[in-house]
Every structure is written in C-alpha cells, then in structure tokens.
C-alpha cells in the first residue's frame, strides 16, 4: 500500500447482507478511531436492533484539514482493532465508489442494495454541524438517522439547524427499535454513557512536543 494508503481489495467490496436486513452506516475519517467511536457503534447496534453496523472509513473528510490525516490503510487497520465484533464490518467503500460526500455514498448504496434497510449513525457532535454537510437534508430524506449522545454535544445537537428542521420527524427514544423500519425522514436521539475520548485529543497527545 502506498501513496495515500490504498485500501486492500476486500475493504472496497460491499459487505454481504441479505435483503430485508437492517444496517447502520457509521461514517468518518476515524483519525484515529477510539473507544468513543466504538461506544456509538455499540449503542446503535443494540438500541436500534440492527443486523450489522458498517464502519465507512472515508478517504478524507471534505470539511476537515488533511494535514494530519493518516493514510487510509493505516486507519482501516486501526478501525479493525476497535470494531472487533461479529456484526460489525469495516469498509472503505467511498474509495471504490468515488464519493467523498456522505449524501452521495448513501444514494449509491440505496441503488446498489435496494432491499437493505439502511440507517445513518452518527455522534451528537456531528449533528451540531450537520447543516454544513453537502446535501444534508437529502440524508434525512433518504434514510432514517440515529444520533448517539457525545460529551458536551447534547444541547448543541438538539438545538442544531438540522434537529430543528426535522423536529417533527423525531422518534421518541423508547421506540428506537422501530427506526430502521420507518420511511424517512425519521430520526432519534439516543442517550448513552458518554466516553470523553476524541480523535483530536489523541492526535494532540501523539505530537512530539
């Protein structure tokens, strides 16, 4: 693997999943992945009664600087260690699909796997700035969305432009297991234990100063 860190062929393939199954799409640069990411994935898997969670390791977040971005292959390897679970799959599908924006990736997956019930999964810190994502409304309009609480992000997420725009589509947390079966727009906010770990903190701690 060279250059920007080309992903091995197996990570570029769409994981096997039967029609009718539910899959949480958990995207990010994971630079690096950490226990907080795993907590979000675990929470979604259990509380939404999903069949699988796919970690979509992106070649690079268009909204973030790539100056400290570890090559894709290295991040995939780290995610594999974090996402060690029989119902979690690690992928680099965006590198194969040529889609650097989540909205485009979701649109492609819906066409390629029309019988699968996809749910977009993200931490509350991402919902706070979700209105800055390209075609963010189309994500809510194409798939149900699950937001998992993160330290310091609860209020900013719930009062964010995205949350307010789709306020009428919010599913009560106690009914979250129904989310994957609902027609979008539909979303829920899941309270969970909040892990303070962050990729920014880990990168700062690794700097030689």
Residue 179, domain CATH: 3.40.50.620
Residue 3 located in a structural domain: no
Prediction pTM value = 0.89
Residue 80 located in a structural domain: yes
Residue 1: is its pLDDT beyond 60? no
Residue 143 located in a structural domain: yes
Residue 82 located in a structural domain: yes
Residue 72 located in a structural domain: yes
- Would you state the pLDDT for residue 153? 86
Residue 20: is its pLDDT beyond 50? yes
Residue 7 located in a structural domain: no
CA–CA gap between residue 29 and residue 17 (Å, rounded): 23
Q: What's the chain's average pLDDT? A: 88
- Would you state the pLDDT for residue 50? 98
Residue 5 located in a structural domain: no
- Per the structure, the count of domains in the chain is 1
More confident residue, 209 or 128: 128
How does residue 4 score in pLDDT terms, banded at 50, 70 and 90?
very low
Residue 2 located in a structural domain: no
Per-residue pLDDT tens over the stretch 125-140: 999 999 999 999 999 9
- Would you state the pLDDT for residue 34? 93
Residue 41: is its pLDDT beyond 70? yes
What is the mean predicted confidence (pLDDT) over 149-163?
93
Per-residue pLDDT tens over the stretch 194-206: 777 654 554 344 4
Domain that holds residue 173: 17-206
- Would you state the pLDDT for residue 202? 47
**Residue tagged 């994500």 (tokens):** 139
């Amino acid at each position: 693997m060279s250059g920007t860190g080309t992903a091995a062929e197996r990570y570029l393939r769409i994981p096997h999943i039967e029609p009718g199954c539910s899959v949480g799409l958990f995207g990010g640069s994971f630079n690096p992945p950490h226990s907080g990411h795993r907590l979000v994935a675990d929470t979604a898997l259990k509380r939404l009664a999903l069949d699988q969670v796919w970690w979509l390791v992106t070649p690079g977040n268009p909204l973030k600087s790539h100056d400290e971005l570890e090559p894709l292959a290295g991040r995939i390897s780290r995610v594999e260690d974090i996402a060690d679970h029989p119902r979690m799959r690690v992928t680099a599908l965006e590198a194969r699909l040529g889609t650097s924006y989540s909205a485009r990736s979701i649109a492609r997956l819906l066409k390629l796997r029309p019988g699968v019930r996809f749910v977009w999964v993200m931490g509350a810190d991402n919902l706070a700035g979700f209105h800055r994502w390209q075609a963010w409304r189309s994500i809510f309009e194409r798939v149900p969305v699950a937001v998992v609480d993160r330290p310091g992000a609860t209020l900013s997420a719930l009062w964010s432009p995205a949350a307010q725009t789709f306020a009428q589509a919010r599913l009560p947390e106690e009914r979250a297991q129904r989310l994957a079966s609902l027609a979008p727009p539909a979303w829920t906010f899941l309270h969970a234990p909040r892990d303070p770990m962050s990729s920014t903190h880990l990168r700062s701690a690794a700097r030689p100063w």
